[in-house]
Chains A and B, each alone.
Chain A
């Protein structure tokens, strides 16, 4: 089979994404967070931490009938146990929504390897690890730094800028577009794809499918272009990659590309934005980091702990009793690394932000076999973004605290962040 033929039938590749079961969409105010939680309501988006702290004290595993049924553990210990237990908790879908792919989707899933279970998971992940190890992403640092400077150059003459919209979001979009070999001018479309995948959870099913089709149509277009014009980037690498002695299934290639495109953007953007939000409203920490730039790597880990952007999901494999609750097959688990990171049983002064915290065994990038593939890339982007900002704009404040908005769903960070820089 030639590469051209593999990517010929787009419709055939689509079937694997749309088959599955759908449940009724339930929205509206939460009656009781212990029995009716939803990570898509405005109260959660605005400030989920008091909710998580309260649940950790009284539950500690909350339940909801929304999304067809799911559970929310809030203790570090419970989150870790689920992350390590890939037998009883499947990654067949990692976005808690109103749609479940069929059991037959395991162990590969729609976006390998994040959606994969062992043993396939490890083989699919091995293909990607070398491109995302620390020494590989270090090579991208000079271009990332130059791009951050260019963004700040563009603020010339403005007293107020949006640190999320005008700065944070552009950095990961540019980096991943370069890695995948996509045209940099397509960046604005990536933001739409991210919103579709991660924030459009409660849209009517047909609309959600239509939006996902746009993402995959775009990826397909890029794959075809790379088949015709191979180059030194991750897309060409995936087209040529082999597993078990043969080239990858076309759905594996496009699914992995979807993962790489989506997973690195609003996550890193959120981490950059949340860090700048904290520094804009905490002059003592800002001044200390400007005076002691060597403290930034330590401070950054604290920002990752307290503002961990990413929550994952799992599906319960079989009916079982776990931590005293009766879980049913296909119940969701909302795997909250942010809640784990604020568990006082795991961290001293868990609710405080201590930028010089030396021992910080946080779980912002997950635990176990699904450790964020892009963690080294994310850390590089976050460090460079903050270094350049603090060097160029050592003094800044929130222009209007009430104008700051936060994304709902499984990736949380500021989406509107007006700051006064002049």
Chain B
């Protein structure tokens, strides 16, 4: 599983780094950033889905990989 942020949609609400701090961080202006390459470690899937489901701007994409 991988997470991505669409920077054109993100407005810095910060729900992703509140809910999934292992996967997301803030930049210098508070916009969301993906930590590392966005690969979700085993056990982090629920956090990733929660972050995506709570983003008010629908800026987070969670891609399930085979």
* Contact (Cβ within 8 A) A132 B30: yes
Binary CB contact string for chain B from 7 to 26 against chain A (1 if under 8 A, 0 otherwise): 00001111001100000001
The answer to whether A257 has its CB under 8 Å from any CB of chain B is no
Interface 1/0s, chain B 43-61, versus A by CB < 8 A? 0000000100111111000
- List the B residue with the shortest CB-CB distance to A370: B11
Contacts of B53 in A (CB 8 A): 358-359, 361
Check: A102 CB closer than 8 A to any chain B CB: no
Q: Which residues of B contact A160 (CB under 8 A)?
A: none
B5 to nearest A CB, angstroms? 15
A103 at the interface (CB under 8 A from B): no
A379 partner residues in chain B, CB cutoff 8 A: 18
The size bracket of the interface on A is: 20 to 34
Residue B65 lies at the interface, judged by CB distance under 8 Å to chain A? no
- Residues A361 and B29 in contact in the complex (CB < 8 Å), given A371-B12, A375-B13, A375-B14: no
Taking a contact as CB atoms under 8 Å apart, the answer to whether A133 and B26 are in contact is yes
Indicate if A126 sits at the interface (CB-CB under 8 A): yes
Cβ of A376 and Cβ of B56 under 8 Å apart? Answer: no
Asked if B30 and A363 make an inter-chain contact with CB atoms under 8 angstroms apart, the answer reads no
- Cβ of A16 < 8 Å from any Cβ of B? no
Whether the pair A361, B56 counts as a contact (CB closer than 8 A) is yes
Q: Is A27 an interface residue (CB 8 A)?
A: no
Q: Could you say which residues of chain A place their CB within 8 Å of the CB of B30? A: 129-130, 132-134, 376
A365 to chain B, nearest CB (A): 6
**B28 at the A interface (CB under 8 A):** yes
Per the bound structure, the CA–CA distance linking A130 and B14 in Å amounts to 13
Separation of A363 and B18 alpha carbons in the complex (Å): 16
Q: Are B55 and A361 in contact (CB under 8 A)?
A: yes
B17–A126 touching, CB < 8 Å: no
Compute the total of residue contacts between A and B using a CB distance below 8 Å: 53
The answer to whether B28 touches A368 (Cβ under 8 A) is: no
**When the two chains form their complex, are residues A133 and B28 in contact, meaning their CB atoms are under 8 A apart?**
yes
Residue of B nearest to A125 (CB): B29
Contact of B29 with A363 in the complex, beta carbons under 8 Å = no
Which among B13, B17, B18 is the interface contact of A371 at CB below 8 angstroms? Answer: B13
Contact partner of A133 among B29, B50, B54, CB < 8 A? B29
Pick from A360, A361, A379 the residue with the most CB of B within 10 Å. Answer: A361
Find B17's partner among A130, A132, A134 (CB 8 Å cutoff).
A134
A282 to chain B, nearest CB (A): 23
A46 within 8 A of B: no
Separation in Å of the A322 CB from the closest CB of chain B?
Answer: 22
Across-interface contacts of B58 in A (CB, < 8 A): 361
Rounded to whole angstroms, the CA-CA distance of A186 and B50 in the bound complex is 42
Residues from chain A with Cβ under 8 Å of B55 in the complex: 361
Q: A247 vs B48: C-alpha distance in the bound complex, in angstroms?
A: 43
Q: How far is the CA of A234 from the CA of B17 in the complex (A)?
A: 25
Is A361 touching B17 in the complex (CB atoms < 8 A)?
no
What residue in chain B is nearest A132 (Cβ atoms)? B30
Nearest-neighbour CB distance to chain A for B47, whole angstroms, equals 11
A:132-176 near B, CB below 8 Å:
132-135
- Inter-chain contact A358/B12, CB cutoff 8 Å: no
User: In A370-419, which residues have CB < 8 Å from any B CB?
Assistant: 371, 375-376, 379
Q: How far is the CB of B17 from chain A (nearest CB, A)?
A: 7
Residues of A within 8 A of B28 (CB): 129-130, 133
Question: Which B residue sits closest to A128, measured CB to CB?
Answer: B29
- List residues of chain B with CB within 8 A of the CB of A135: 26
Given the complex of chains A and B, what is the CA–CA distance between A320 and B43 in angstroms?
51
Nearest to A126 among chain B residues (CB) is B29
Q: Is A296's CB within 8 Å of the partner chain B?
A: no
**A–B complex contacts, Cβ < 8 Å, 19 sampled:** A129-B28, A130-B28, A130-B30, A133-B28, A133-B29, A134-B14, A134-B18, A134-B30, A135-B26, A359-B54, A362-B56, A363-B56, A368-B11, A369-B11, A371-B11, A371-B12, A371-B13, A371-B56, A375-B13
Q: Which 3 A-B pairs have the closest CB atoms?
A: A133-B30, A129-B29, A371-B11
Interface residues of chain A, those whose CB is within 8 Å of chain B, are 126, 129-130, 132-135, 297, 301, 358-363, 365, 367-369, 371, 375-376, 379
**Besides A371-B12, A371-B57, A379-B18, 19 new A-B residue pairs in contact (Cβ under 8 A), listed by A number:** A129-B12, A129-B30, A130-B30, A133-B12, A133-B26, A133-B28, A134-B17, A134-B18, A135-B26, A359-B50, A359-B53, A359-B54, A360-B54, A361-B58, A365-B13, A367-B11, A371-B13, A375-B13, A375-B14
